[in-house]
Amino acid sequence: MTRVALIAHDDEKPEMIDLVREYEDVLSKFDLVGTGTTGKRISEETALDIERKQSGPLGGDTQIGAEVADDRMDAIVFLRDPLTAQPHEPDISALLRICDVHDVPMATTRTSAEYVLDGLAADGDE
C-alpha cells in the first residue's frame, strides 16, 4: 500500500487540514503517517486513520526520515512556514536530504502537495 507522511508547521496546520479534507477520498486509499500534533488534528477533523509518530520537537520527523531510509515511505507532504517557523518545529533540512538520497518526493507547498497526491492517485489507478 502507498505510504504517505503528513507534517505541518503550526501556522500551516489549518492549510494541511484543508488539503486533507479536499483529498480525503484519495488519502483514504493510502497508509498515512503523521507527526504528533498534525496527526492528531487530522484524525480528529477527518474520518482518516493515521499512524501518529512523536511530535516534531520530540523526533517525529526523524522517525519518518528513518522510514524513508528503510524504503517504507512513498512520499511526504511537509507544509512548512518558511518565514516564521519556530525553533520547536521540525527541521526540514535533514528530512529533505534523506528524501533526495532515496528519491522520495517531498512536497512543501499546497500546490506541490496536490501534484504529488494526484500523481500517487494516478499510479494507484494503473
Active site residues: 61
* Distance of alpha carbon 117 from the chain centroid: 11
109 is in an annotated binding site: no
Three-class SS of residue 48? coil
- Going from the C-alpha of 5 to that of each of 83, 84, 86, 112, the distances in angstroms are 22, 22, 21, 14
How many CB atoms lie under 10 A from the CB of residue 47? 8
9 is in an annotated binding site: yes
102 is in an annotated binding site: no
How many CB atoms lie under 10 A from the CB of residue 77? 28
56 is in an annotated binding site: yes
Angle made by CA atoms 109, 117, 5, in degrees to the nearest 5: 75
38 is in an annotated binding site: yes
- Residue ranges of the annotated binding site for substrate are 9, 13, 35-38, 55-56, 88
- Residue ranges of the annotated binding site are 9, 13, 35-38, 55-56, 88
